[in-house]
Structure 1
Amino acid sequence: MSGLDRRRFLQTAALAAAAAVVPAGRLFAQQKPPLYQISLAQWSLHRTFFDKKADPMDFAKITKEQFGIDAVEYVNQFYKDKKHDDATLKELKQRADDAGVKSLLIMCDGEGQLGDADEKKRYQAVENHYRWVEWAKYLGCHSIRVNAASSGSYYEQIQRAADGLRKLAEFGATHGIGVIVENHGGLSSNGSWLASVMRTVDNPNCGTLPDFGNFRVAGPKIQYDRYQGVADLMPFAKGVSAKSHDFDDQGNETSTDYRKIMEIVLSFGYRGYVGIEYEGSTLPEAEGIQLTKKLLETVRTELS
């Protein structure tokens, strides 16, 4: 056998051996990405943290070790008194890195109305969010989640909210950080209204975070259809929030048909993270998180 023939023989034998070790079907399955990945929103543990049963600085570690999830969504309320403390920010990043957890976004509340009717207050609210954009950049997040709170008539609120969001999105773009809006009460829980705001903002750095459960427009009974609302918001989505409250004996969420709503999410080509946001009161938070995770995993397998 010549030297060239011998090399060809050895190469063929090596490829055959590799194929024998990893069957083609299994190799393809390993390479196929999941329909979506699962993250954990810090609000799922809000009672735990507010009651000081755990340190919010350990959120990433808890997420990985207790729930087997490797991506997190922070809530600014747990760090608000440390907003301008660089040491806290560095420590938070280090703990996430040590846990092998990816930081996705920061949910920001209590910084003023981005659609305030008073222009001066509106721009102050925009500036109040700047520091959280800096936090998000340092932590390695892709966005901050904000609210589109406003006042006035239906159309006045579209213009006012769009103005504040556009200015914040422009600032966020200078840091490579997106500004995403959640349906979170008032007119923002009206999917059609919030979609109109997004079209008025007309900035690719501004998008939405559709939440499965926040479609109460006014009072306990005035609800915007959650499935229509998610469909309204998905064209602008840079994240998805899987809200959960209660579960039946089969592990299904009692208010939201997760199969139906995830089919809507996926129909828009979304393949990013779906964040667990357990907000129920009848189960311990840890159990609610685990049930939501299991349901999302089951639906993902069924739809794959």
Structure 2
Amino acid sequence: MKDSIFNKRGLLFAFFAIFLFFFSCKDEKKKEDNILKVEDTIVVAPFFKLSLAQWSMHKMVFDDKVSPYTFAEKAKSWGFSGLEYVSGMYYEELEKENFSKEAMAAFVEKCNAESKKHEMTNLLIMIDGQGNLAAETSEERKKAVENHYKWVDAAAAMGCHSIRVNLSGGTSTEEWITSSVDGLTQLATYAKDKNVNVIVENHGGFSSNAADLALVMSKVNMPNCGTLPDFGNFCMKRKDGSIYNGECAEEYDMYKGVSELMPYAKGVSAKSYNFDADGNETKIDFSKMMNIVKDAGYEGFVGVEYEGDVLTEEEGIIATRDLLLKVAKEL
């Protein structure tokens, strides 16, 4: 009788041990599944970093009179880590002082203080209105080149890797190519000693013909001279004869253009206009564009540049950011 009781107890103990082992294994499996889920999340991190082009805020600055010095604070709050400044947003104060050394130094000091305060990285300054680097005459080109020196110095003082310039000027493709090579070589030679790159955006006119712009880069052939491929600026000719405004009459293939400019890219500008109900850009296939960028081996910053007219600037900036992150998970 005693042996029988012990046998029953032994069986119960064995059954209980098996029960605990089964559920313990099940719990370990859950833990493993959770670990795998965490690892999966890490794997789909973007191959690029996010920066914000200050032009995305141009209505805030010019129309609503928001201080351009809030750039770092706002960009940080919207989830960016890199800053792409626009020179023209500071011209009101700089022109009053005729771009004096003191005025430029104050600009640099304020920008550096804000970027440091909000732990943001200064990347580049987009320069406008400083003369035509591809002007027809050597005198005009030289003057334009020298006008850009102060911005090279500012970029160096801010820790930016580049200044973005425009290649305006010329009345024929051949003339424009020759003048562009000369203007860029002069400026890049000055910028080289400051450890600053001179990069050209496809930005209307001859510069929006990506094959020709790539040819200019190959002719300049300097390590600190490159491109800033923009997803949307491929209008070569407008019906009203303007460079930046008016209905486009002749447009370069945007996907072919970005492909041709990526070998020289030191930055990428993710231009956006409007979005559909699913959050996709209505004019530009971001998945196709970012595949081109990734296939080129690019792993630097991709700058959001919203220019739409339906969403507010803040909404458009966030929509573009989210689209880039969504696309990154799918690539």
- TM-score, length of structure 1 as denominator length: 0.89
1:90-239 mapped onto 2 (5 Å cutoff): 90-219=109-238, 220-239=248-267
* Alpha-carbon distance in 2 for matches of 1:79, 1:278: 19
Q: Matched residue of 1:221: which SS?
A: strand
* Alpha-carbon distance in 1 for matches of 2:192, 2:205: 27
Among candidates 60, 63, 82, match of residue 71 of structure 1: 82
Q: Matched residue of 1:48: which SS?
A: helix
Matched residue type, 1:50: F
Deviation, structure 1 residue 24: 8.5
Q: How many residues align?
A: 283
Identity over aligned pairs, percent: 46
Q: Which 5+ residue runs of structure 2 have no aligned equivalent? A: 1-31, 239-247
* Alpha-carbon distance in 1 for matches of 2:304, 2:235: 19
Structure 1 stretch displaced more, 113-122 or 83-92: 83-92
* Alpha-carbon distance in 2 for matches of 1:129, 1:288: 31
1:275 corresponds to which residue? 303
Verify: 1:34 aligned to 2:53, yes or no.
no
1:237-256 mapped onto 2 (5 Å cutoff): 237-256=265-284
Matched residue type, 1:221: A
Verify: 1:49 aligned to 2:68, yes or no.
no
Deviation, structure 1 residue 221: 2.7
Deviation, structure 1 residue 26: 4.9
* Contact 1:159/1:200 (<8 A) preserved: no
* Alpha-carbon distance in 2 for matches of 1:26, 1:169: 46
Q: Taking structure 1 as reference, are residues 247 and 32 closer, same or farther at Cα in structure 2, changes over 3 Å only?
A: closer
* Alpha-carbon distance in 2 for matches of 1:259, 1:30: 20
* Alpha-carbon distance in 2 for matches of 1:32, 1:131: 41
Structure 1 segments, 4+ long, off by >2 Å, are 22-34, 80-84
Matched residue type, 1:126: V
Q: Matched residue of 1:79: which SS?
A: helix
Deviation, structure 1 residue 139: 1.1
Q: Taking structure 1 as reference, are residues 283 and 27 closer, same or farther at Cα in structure 2, changes over 3 Å only?
A: closer
Among candidates 70, 79, 89, match of residue 58 of structure 1: 70
* Contact 2:49/2:81 (<8 A) preserved: no
Tell me the C-alpha RMSD between the 2 structures.
1.9
Q: Deviations over 1:33-68 (max 9, x none)?
A: 731111100000101000244100111011112x12
Q: Which has the larger radius of gyration?
A: 2
Deviation, structure 1 residue 140: 1.1
Q: Taking structure 1 as reference, are residues 290 and 32 closer, same or farther at Cα in structure 2, changes over 3 Å only?
A: closer
Q: Matched residue of 1:39: which SS?
A: strand
* Contact 1:158/1:197 (<8 A) preserved: yes
* Alpha-carbon distance in 2 for matches of 1:33, 1:259: 16
Q: Which 5+ residue runs of structure 1 have no aligned equivalent? A: 1-19
Q: Matched residue of 1:103: which SS?
A: strand
- TM-score, length of structure 2 as denominator length: 0.82
* Alpha-carbon distance in 2 for matches of 1:52, 1:284: 12
